[in-house]
Amino acid sequence: MTWLSAEDWQALALTLRLAAVVTAILFVVATPLAWWLARSRRRWKGVVGAVVALPLVLPPSVLGFYLLIALGPQGPVGQLTESLGLGRLPFSFWGLVLASVVYSLPFMVQPLQTAFEAIGERPLEVAATLRASPLDAFFTVALPLAGPGFLTGGILTFAHTVGEFGVVLMIGGNIPGVTRVVSVQIYDHVEALAYAHAHRLSAVMLVFSFVVLLAVYGWRGRPVAKGAA
């Protein structure tokens, strides 16, 4: 416990909680979106796909800036949350959750979309001939077949949220236990010239990130299980 300070542990716990909540929300939000993207023939599917992928390309400073204004008292989201009695989102845990859901959206949607596309029409047509309703077929056929996509999407979303920095810095307000996540805590250590603290916490992040990626790539690279054929 002396290796990391109490504040470091608090930041770690907060980061893991944030990542877990964001991943759970994105499972629910991204699944229908990815399903629609994988199966729709509509012309504006490309537009939706591009919007979903935007956070991959936009600098966190752009996202953070827009979120700060949109969630603020004069912004559309801010006015909505205030009229609903939810208060203001910037500088709060749920503000970070909302920002992270936006920021990590493509990391969940894209693996799921790929997994759904890989299933193809065939298994669902077969399910339909066996009188499965579309909803039934989705839950009993498509979801299990897309299992690896869910695993990849879940791990990438979780890891990406843990690694978030710029957006949190811009809308978090650096409140201990509420918005001060690990990346911000490390930044603080570096800025305060507390390099020993920064080293320790950075090492934790490095090992964590490596293990997560090893899990993803190890899963992808594993030999096909015998029963699968």
Please give the Cα distance from 176 to 164 (Å, whole number): 17
The answer to whether 49 contacts another protein (rule: CB under 8 A) is no
Selected from 173, 200, 205, 216, the binder of another protein by CB under 8 A is: 173
Q: How far is the CB of 208 from another protein (least distance, A)?
A: 23
Selected from 16, 69, 143, 151, the binder of another protein by CB under 8 A is: 69
Selected from 91, 93, 165, 208, the binder of another protein by CB under 8 A is: 91
Six-digit token string for 181: 């996540």
- Cβ distance 209 to 38 under 8 Å? no
The answer to whether 118 contacts another protein (rule: CB under 8 A) is no
The answer to whether 190 contacts another protein (rule: CB under 8 A) is yes
Amino acid present at 131: R
Residues 6+ apart with CB under 8 A from 112: 30, 31, 34, 35, 38, 146, 149, 150, 153
Backbone angles phi, psi at 75, to 5 degrees: -80, 160
CA 32 vs. chain centroid, Å, equals: 15
The answer to whether 68 contacts another protein (rule: CB under 8 A) is yes
Selected from 73, 144, 177, 218, the binder of another protein by CB under 8 A is: 73
Name the residues that contact another protein, by CB under 8 A. 68-69, 71-74, 88, 90-91, 169-170, 173-175, 187-188, 190-193
